[in-house]
Structure 1
Amino acid sequence: MSVPLWLWIATVGGLLALIALDLVIVDRKPHEVTTGEAARWVIFYIAVAIAFGVGVWVFAGHEPGVQFFTGYITEYSLSVDNLFIFMIIMTSFKVPAIHQHRVLLIGILLALAMRSVFIAVGAALIAQFVWVFFLFGAVLIWTAISMVRNKDEEEEYEENALTRWVRKLFPVTEEWHGHKSFVKKDGKRWITPMFLVIVAIGSADLLFAVDSIPAIFGITQEAFLVFTANAFALMGLRQLYFLLGGLVTKLVYLSYGLAVILAFIGAKLFLHALHEYHVVPDWLDINNWVSLGVIVVVLTVTTLASLAKAKKLEAAEQESSISS
């Protein structure tokens, strides 16, 4: 798939225009995002991603189209699992509801910029060294094992090294100053909790790239498709945060489903590398139609099972409260 420079420029320009539209309409006046507003924006971003994918399918062929949709679904589903971490960070920093959208927007923009560097490096490595597929596959399988092993552990937020470094570098105000990141007090520049939580969200999402970037490279090695799938998944993530709310905690089996998906893509990367070395026959190189089918089935089953369990637990709690 050959992507001309003008298409890269047009795509990035289009994404920036969407971000500007979001800033003008949603973030012009800080407010608490309602469920209805979030739902409309989620539908809008999904529709834009689908339209982009259809364009890829029509102009580049069905194989790149399948790769984009498979990558987008994978990145979006991984992002849903990360929303719980975002909720913990928001709670830890006591972010006012009217400022949560801006925190997510700026944090995710920073993460997208940093992920772009990861994607460029990953694409360059894959173009030069086949053994990188083994490395990416090992990362995904280890991540899958870790997700299952740590599923029942209590999630608590601990500031990462970057956030602690920023806190040491600048004095931090105790109180919030609207959406300002910097203020002057007694002739000295201070950072506000707004700036610190943006660093926390952006750096946390960067850590999530450790599994999401290798995962999508297991689906396609086209840097253009990797970048756009990541961009559309991240851009829709903010509104999904407000739409799902507490529902994220009810998706109790999602981590298991994502672990299965990551392990599957990890195994696919190993097989692809072995195929490149002519160790395994062609029929063992899993195509993207199979990958898309596996991902959709696993996500559907785990989501339905999670919601069924949540409903069962709610019914049990109601019966317990009535009997008591």
Structure 2
Amino acid sequence: MVEISAWAWAATIALVIALFVLDLVVAVRRPHAVGIKEATFWSVFYIVVALLFGLAVWAFAGATAGTEYYSGYIVEKSLSVDNLFVFVIIMARFEVPAEYQQKTLLFGIAAALILRVILIAIGGAAISLFSFTFLIFGLVLIWTAIQLIRHRNEEPDVEDTFLVRRARKLFPLSSDYHGGRMLAHENGQRVMTPLLLVFVAIGSTDVLFALDSIPAVYGITQSAFLVFAANAFALLGLRALYFLIEGLLERLVYLTIGLSAILVFIGIKLIVLFLHEDVSESIPEIPTPLSLVVILLILIVTTIASLIRVRAHPEEKAKPGTLRKTKKQEEEERAPR
């Protein structure tokens, strides 16, 4: 496992916080609708920062660590595209004005990063204490992939999460955005604006995505530092990426199938790693460079196949997929025919 010094941790955390503050200043200083030029600039900026960070890892921690970081980053970035599908649904469902969307996205992403740090720590501790954690992670990823395939043409019910339901009970919901605030006063009563509900929806739905993305990146590297870095840099660029590819998302009709294939591959990799360490060392591990090639190949094939399919069938629209049926779908199945 890659050994990372305390100063490297401190420097990385400081960089992530600085980038978040920069994003916050850009998003909150002057609320506005994000154009394609601005979205392109910031998307390229965050990708370049992530790639340069990988070069630093390569230089200071070695080629193995660098390859693991890049592989983990690509996995997290590809899985985060599914997050963007849900973000689009949330923004449309709550009818968020264009000038407030990036602020809401940024706060939701910040909450998601904090929640993922907790899950990363739990995952790292589990791997250190229990050797069969790799087996559990592998089976979880394969189960997740199967569920995504089964429900690939469905949309998650973003208003039916536990945290959203709790938020509705804590404060009355206003129909006014109150200049982009999350809490306000109406008739002497404290109310929450739709932005707060959107923020809670984004943060809570990302927890579900983290349940597959965290085990997936642990399938690439067992270094908590590299897992954290891959997650942080993938999430930081989501705000700009959302506005850049918002229109392209619905054309990626095979994205869910591609992501499911990646999850199955990494799940098998984790199970093989468990067998190698706990059953017999003669069972070969799947090397990280091969994982990187396979993941990139799946993404390229998925994207090209999606674009070809949509060109031939322009009426088809991509769905984000879900891990379970929504309440509405369950009620429709139970209803007498």
Range of TM-score over shorter length: over 0.9
Tell me the CA shift for residue 23 of structure 1.
Answer: 2.1
Opposite residue 302 of structure 2, the aligned amino acid is T
Tell me the CA shift for residue 157 of structure 1.
Answer: 3.6
Residue in 2 that maps onto 1:125: 126
Distance 2:177 2:99 in 1: 12
With normalisation by structure 2, the TM-score equals 0.90
Opposite residue 39 of structure 1, the aligned amino acid is T
Query: Matches of residues 162-173 of structure 1 in structure 2 within 5 Å?
Result: 162-173=163-174
Distance 2:176 2:187 in 1: 15
Tell me the CA shift for residue 175 of structure 1.
Answer: 1.7
Residue in 2 that maps onto 1:321: none
Tell me the CA shift for residue 296 of structure 1.
Answer: 0.5
Distance 1:222 1:157 in 2: 33
Residue in 1 that maps onto 2:255: 254
Distance 1:114 1:73 in 2: 20
Distance 2:58 2:155 in 1: 43
Query: Matches of residues 178-257 of structure 1 in structure 2 within 5 Å?
Result: 178-257=179-258
Opposite residue 235 of structure 1, the aligned amino acid is L
Tell me the CA shift for residue 313 of structure 1.
Answer: 2.4
Q: Is contact 1:176–1:192 with CA below 8 Å preserved after alignment?
A: yes
Distance 1:193 1:314 in 2: 33
List structure 1 runs of 4+ shifted beyond 6 angstroms: none
Distance 1:155 1:246 in 2: 19
Residue in 2 that maps onto 1:312: 312
Moved more, 144-153 or 127-136: 144-153
Q: Is residue 2:8 matched to residue 1:15?
A: no
Distance 2:99 2:48 in 1: 26
Q: Is contact 2:177–2:195 with CA below 8 Å preserved after alignment?
A: yes
Distance 1:229 1:157 in 2: 26
Distance 2:91 2:72 in 1: 28
| Cα distance change on mapping 1:5 and 1:154 into 2, 3 Å | closer
Tell me the CA shift for residue 156 of structure 1.
Answer: 4.8
Moved more, 259-268 or 176-185: 176-185
Q: Secondary structure at the match of 1:250?
A: coil
Q: Secondary structure at the match of 1:151?
A: coil
User: Which digits, 9 at most, give the CA deviation of each residue in 1:173-192, with x for residues without a partner?
Assistant: 12211210111223221111
Residue in 2 that maps onto 1:33: 34
Tell me the CA shift for residue 315 of structure 1.
Answer: 10
Q: Is contact 1:253–1:303 with CA below 8 Å preserved after alignment?
A: yes
Q: Is residue 2:298 matched to residue 1:298?
A: yes
Query: Matches of residues 69-218 of structure 1 in structure 2 within 5 Å?
Result: 69-153=70-154, 156-218=157-219
Equivalent pairs: percent with the same residue? 50
Tell me the CA shift for residue 200 of structure 1.
Answer: 0.5
Tell me the CA shift for residue 155 of structure 1.
Answer: 5.3
Opposite residue 77 of structure 1, the aligned amino acid is S
Distance 2:207 2:180 in 1: 23
Opposite residue 32 of structure 2, the aligned amino acid is H
Stretches of structure 2 lacking an aligned partner (at least 5 in a row) = 317-337
Equivalences, count:
315
Q: Is contact 1:76–1:233 with CA below 8 Å preserved after alignment?
A: yes
Residue in 2 that maps onto 1:320: none
Opposite residue 289 of structure 1, the aligned amino acid is P
Q: Is contact 1:160–1:200 with CA below 8 Å preserved after alignment?
A: yes
Moved more, 136-145 or 147-156: 147-156
| Cα distance change on mapping 1:158 and 1:184 into 2, 3 Å | closer
Task: Report the aligned-residue RMSD.
Answer: 1.5
Tell me the CA shift for residue 309 of structure 1.
Answer: 1.4
Q: Is contact 1:88–1:156 with CA below 8 Å preserved after alignment?
A: no
With normalisation by structure 1, the TM-score equals 0.94
Opposite residue 220 of structure 1, the aligned amino acid is T
Opposite residue 159 of structure 1, the aligned amino acid is D
Residue in 1 that maps onto 2:267: 266
Residue in 1 that maps onto 2:50: 49
Stretches of structure 1 lacking an aligned partner (at least 5 in a row) = 317-324
Q: Is contact 2:23–2:106 with CA below 8 Å preserved after alignment?
A: no
Q: Is contact 1:271–1:280 with CA below 8 Å preserved after alignment?
A: no
Tell me the CA shift for residue 24 of structure 1.
Answer: 2.0
